[in-house]
Amino acid sequence: MRAGALASALDLPLHGDADRELSRLASLESAGPGDLAFVTGRRYLNALQASTAGLVIVPPGLLEACPVDALVAEDPYVAYAAASWLLVPERQAPAGVHPSAVVDESAEVAPDASVGPRAVIGAGSRIGAGARIGAGCLLGERVRIGAGTRLFDGVTVNDDVHLGGDCRVQSGAVIGAEGFGFAPGRDGWRAIHQIGGVRIGDRVQVGANTTIDCGAIEPTVIGDGVILDNQIQIAHNVRIGNDTAIAACTGIAGSTTIGARCLIGGSCNINGHIELADGVTITATAFVPHSIREAGSYGSAMPLQPNRAWRRTFAALGRLDELLRRVRALERRDSSTAPVPSFPHVPEP
């Protein structure tokens, strides 16, 4: 792609050769004359000044320091994200249903949608315009796939799951599996029929091997613009607000509500039947046992230490009760032996 065409598509001012050919994306350090890179702030100034990239997306404050051609953007990272799809466009799948796919006669597939080899689409399901169903995907009954949504190879979408438009679901994801609902009885556990389905909004990203369980009665709900990393577990009846981001290996127990624009770090454990307010940030590997009513940053993980120091810390943690009892005993002893305060003599009238 030529630099001028890229600048026009991104609606950004170009400082340099509009006819320069760009062939790939690259880091600032490794980029060569045919590559596009970006820089976000002054801490990368030295790398920028040493760069030989063909074109760099820079903030306004770094334009004068840029030794090569530049695009100027208020948010270079967002501009680079848009440029990445233009410079390296996604391969398009041919429209139509592959001969080896199995599509129920009551299902509806848009003429320009693509259904890959050995995919299965159940009764009453609908595939929207421009949607892309990868090879080996399994879609149950009454599934709705919105316009422009892509399911990568090997995705499972069970009955009564609705996905909005422009979603991307990576391989191995399972949406709409039965939630973990069991009633204890005299003869053991009795499964509760999970019939609530799943409702997923527009522009949602679901990572590889992430699982979203269906609701028990009402649906599990994922709002618009939510991004879910790989290997996340979302239990039945969870509700996640718009534009929340959740990193890999986090587990969310049933009937929890997470607000909009939350940031959940990797490997967090979030208890069931609690609520997180809008704008909450949870740092990585934290345990969330109760509701959080106010926006802000929260964490509970033990920071990393050298192993020898960690052993001492762990040993001390095991003695906290004993140490606390000793401190209280010392406080009581000190208070009982403290001198009685004296007051000046006041003569009787």
In this predicted model, what pLDDT tens digit does every residue of 260-283 receive, in sequence order? Answer: 999 999 999 999 999 999 999 999
Q: What tens digit of pLDDT does each residue of 35-68 get? A: 999 999 999 999 999 999 999 999 999 999 999 9
> What is the per-residue pLDDT for 337?
64
CB under 8 Å to 243, separation ≥6 — which residues?
223, 224, 225, 226, 260, 261
Element (H, E) at 79: helix 76-87
Residue by residue, DSSP assigns 23-69 as -EE--TTT--TTEEEE--SGGGHHHHHT---SEEEE-GGGTTT-SSE
Q: What tens digit of pLDDT does each residue of 132-177 get? A: 999 999 999 999 999 999 999 999 999 999 999 999 999 999 999 9
> What is the per-residue pLDDT for 349?
44
Q: Which sequence positions are flagged as catalytic?
A: 236
Question: Rounded distance, CA 261 to CA 315, Å?
Answer: 39
Q: What tens digit of pLDDT does each residue of 12-33 get? A: 999 999 999 999 999 999 999 9
CA atoms within 13 A on the CB side of 52: 3
Reading phi first (left if > 0) and then psi (alpha if -120 to 50, else beta), residue 106 is in alpha
> What is the per-residue pLDDT for 58?
98
Phi, psi values for residue 267, rounded to 5°: 60, 35
In single-letter form, the type of residue at position 46 comes to N
Among candidate residues 280, 273, 279, 277, the one with its CA nearest the CA of residue 293: 277
Going from the N-terminus, what domains does the chain have, and what CATH number goes with each? 3-87 (3.40.1390.10), 155-298 (2.160.10.10)
Please provide the distance, in angstroms rounded to a whole number, between the alpha carbons at the two ends of the chain: 105
For residue 338, pLDDT beyond 70: no
Q: Is there a contact between 260 and 239 (Cβ–Cβ < 8 Å)?
A: no
Give the predicted TM-score (pTM) of the model. Answer: 0.89
Q: What angle do CA 90, 95, 98 make, to 5 degrees?
A: 110
* Residue bearing tokens 């009885």: 185
For residue 186, pLDDT beyond 60: yes
**3-state class of 194 per DSSP?**
coil
Q: What tens digit of pLDDT does each residue of 97-144 get? A: 999 999 999 999 999 999 999 999 999 999 999 999 999 999 999 999
